[in-house]
Amino acid sequence: MNPMTINEMTSDECSAVLVRASFGRLGCSLKDQAYVVPIYLVYDASYFYALSTEGRKIEWMRKNPKVCVQVDEFQGESNWVSVIAYGEYQELTEPQFTQERNHARHLLEKRPSWWQTALAERELKAAKNIIDPLFFRIHVVSTTGLRASD
């Protein structure tokens, strides 16, 4: 069996992985406590776009916008890539960010049922059937990536 090697990826290689991603793990933190949630997202021109509902992650990212997103492509124990993107949370409120919000919607709706996970999770908890979807983006300022191969 060939030994596995792990190499650092260039920033272009990292970007290529982010562009292919439709799912990632969003990490945020508040008062020395980390919080990681799985989330659907789309990467375009240095920004991740996502749909969410109000809750802990939004509350925390409003207070501390420094976040990260981890994505990977796993094809086997010795054949994978993993990228961590560090960036800043930005809520796409209206009317200031109407254009960006429409752009987010356009990108996200390419995935079938793109809105269902966020809203279904919230519907479980909502006392009333009133759900206010929220769009946000993360401006990616740096990336690191590792590639395993044999």
Ligand X SMILES: Cc1cc2nc3c(=O)[nH]c(=O)nc-3n(C[C@H](O)[C@H](O)[C@H](O)COP(=O)(O)OP(=O)(O)OC[C@H]3O[C@@H](n4cnc5c(N)ncnc54)[C@H](O)[C@@H]3O)c2cc1C
Question: Quick check: 87 and 43 in contact, CB under 8 A?
Answer: no
Q: How far is the CB of 38 from ligand X (least distance, A)?
A: 4
Q: How far is the CB of 37 from ligand X (least distance, A)?
A: 4
* Residues of this chain that bind ligand X (CB under 6 A): 23, 37-40, 50-53, 55-57, 117-118, 121
Question: Quick check: 138 and 89 in contact, CB under 8 A?
Answer: yes
E strands, the chain, are 5-8, 23-30, 33-40, 42-44, 47-52, 66-76, 79-91, 134-149
User: Cα(148)–Cα(77) distance, rounded to whole angstroms?
Assistant: 8
With respect to ligand X, which residue has the nearer C-beta, 53 or 144? 53
With respect to ligand X, which residue has the nearer C-beta, 11 or 22? 22
User: Cα(92)–Cα(94) distance, rounded to whole angstroms?
Assistant: 7
Of 129, 109, 27, whose CA–CA distance to 68 is shortest? Answer: 27
With respect to ligand X, which residue has the nearer C-beta, 117 or 144? 117
Residue with the shortest CB distance to ligand X: 55
Q: How far is the CB of 78 from ligand X (least distance, A)?
A: 26
Q: How far is the CB of 30 from ligand X (least distance, A)?
A: 11
Q: How far is the CB of 11 from ligand X (least distance, A)?
A: 26
With respect to ligand X, which residue has the nearer C-beta, 6 or 126? 126
With respect to ligand X, which residue has the nearer C-beta, 9 or 107? 107
Question: Quick check: 81 and 20 in contact, CB under 8 A?
Answer: no
